[in-house]
Amino acid sequence: MSSFLREFEHLKIPLQTIKDATNNFGEDKFIAEGGYGKVYRGEFLGSEGVMITGAAKRWSTSNEDGDPEFQREIMLLSDNKHENLISLLGFCYENNERILVYKYAPNKSLDFHLQDPNFTWIQRLKICLGAARGLEYLHNPRGAQRVLHFDIKSANILLDENWNAKIADFGLSKYGPATRNRSYLITQAKGTQGYADPVFLQTMIYTKESDVYSFGVVLFEVLCSRFCFDPKFNDRRRSLPILAKTSTKEEIRDNYVSFDLRQQMEEDSFDKFVTVAHQCLGKQQKQRPSMDLIVKEIETALKFQERRNVFSSDVNVASSSTPHAKKDQVGGNPDDDMIKRWSTGREGNLRSLLATLHDVLEPEIGWERVSLTQITGIRGVRKHYAKAVHLIGPVMLKERGASSREKYICRKVHEILKVGRLGFNPEERELREKQGKFW
């Protein structure tokens, strides 16, 4: 241990300094407790003379076998620095005390927020993307060795003051050769029940794809707003990984995603996210995507969602303040209030539906794509979608063998916006409803 300490002498923090910062490990400074010991908040003087809020993780004195994990965290966090990895401020190994001091993450860990109804879908996407980037950095380093984390879980993804994800807790982590695409380690079972790769538990062979499996469990926790293990159930719902692997996208969306979260989601965003999450839980390790691919897929899911938010903002402005909107409110068409409501309300998002519907109808002969910026008010929507009614009706969908995704989107347009009713006067509408020509 002495030679190791000499190598990292520049990171040593005197025990008395930590005691002063944490009020002698006072209860008023207590943050959390784990199997290793307790964590305390304190103010520490940084290298540039600026005070930094830190979190001091104090190893329990009863943990006699903690030296390897203690040294491993110091070494790994000293060698690997990334905006999505927790920052190590220093350590103390003095008077039988083992303490690691990290930069404080005031918004706690991801698991604290999974069931929060105010935790939005776009927040969840950004946090997952940050964590994915951190893990991708560990798996694809610029040096000769990659890091296998061994304990990826929502409790080990910390959130800073800006809600940026920081991967933490490297006590079980190990180096593996980055020169091999399929580097692996033969080791004893470690990690957390529910998150651990079943292939690893059977073979004791750990690969970077084992980290990917654990990350997939976290993705489903974020999507379903629950923990990976729920003892209140006595069926497959008890284990989130089993539930996810035995459920279709549609079943997950309709049965296991909360109503509030589902209403926020752009359909393509959900589809991208749940697809890559399913791939992470692949039965065989070689079936699972690499972390760089996962980063790209979550980036795409986030772009889809941000596009929806931009459309929502545009529609809100158009429906409330633009000359087009004011002009369109005159006319008394019974559909107008309904379209305006769905343009601005929380139940749905008009522009997102239109954008997605454009993609569905793109290959159709006779479909003329119209820029969404041209649809600045109710009149524009009614005029534009009168041309699309026959292309998204159930008969046309059946004839061309539309995918379930297409059917879902088109049905949503009919159900929510009642596009098939636009462009008809009340008498025509009543007649068509009697003939059953609407959804």
Instruction: Render pLDDT for 147-171 as a digit per residue (tens, 0 to 9).
Output: 999 999 999 999 999 999 999 998 8
Q: Does domain 2-103 have CATH number 2.40.160.10?
A: no
Give pLDDT tens digits for 236-250: 999 999 999 999 999
Output 385 or 438, whichever has higher pLDDT: 385
Whether residue 51 contacts residue 45, with contact meaning beta carbons closer than 8 Å, is answered with yes
User: Which CATH fold would you assign to the domain 110-305?
Assistant: Transferase(Phosphotransferase); domain 1 (1.10.510)
Q: How confident is the model at residue 90 (pLDDT cuts 50, 70, 90)?
A: very high
Q: How confident is the model at residue 7 (pLDDT cuts 50, 70, 90)?
A: confident
For residue 212, pLDDT beyond 70: yes
Q: How confident is the model at residue 412 (pLDDT cuts 50, 70, 90)?
A: low
Question: What pLDDT shows up at residue 124?
Answer: 97
For residue 429, pLDDT beyond 90: no
Mean pLDDT across the chain:
78
Interhelix angle 291-320/208-224, rounded to 10 degrees, is 20
Question: What pLDDT shows up at residue 1?
Answer: 56
Report, as residue numbers or ranges, the catalytic residues.
151
For residue 106, pLDDT beyond 70: yes
CA nearest neighbour of 347 among 256, 438, 265: 265
Q: How confident is the model at residue 205 (pLDDT cuts 50, 70, 90)?
A: confident
Distance, CA of 88 to CA of 76 (rounded, Å) = 10
Give pLDDT tens digits for 353-389: 566 666 666 665 555 555 555 554 545 555 566 556 5
Q: Return residue ranges of the chain for CATH 3.30.200.20.
A: 2-103
Distance, CA of 232 to CA of 215 (rounded, Å) = 24
Q: Return residue ranges of the chain for CATH 1.10.510.10.
A: 110-305
Question: What pLDDT shows up at residue 311?
Answer: 44
Distance, CA of 434 to CA of 218 (rounded, Å) = 49
Question: What pLDDT shows up at residue 357?
Answer: 65
Whether residue 356 contacts residue 267, with contact meaning beta carbons closer than 8 Å, is answered with yes
Query: Phi/psi of residue 402, each to 5°?
Result: -60, 150
Give pLDDT tens digits for 239-298: 999 999 999 999 999 899 998 898 888 889 999 999 999 999 999 999 999 999 999 999
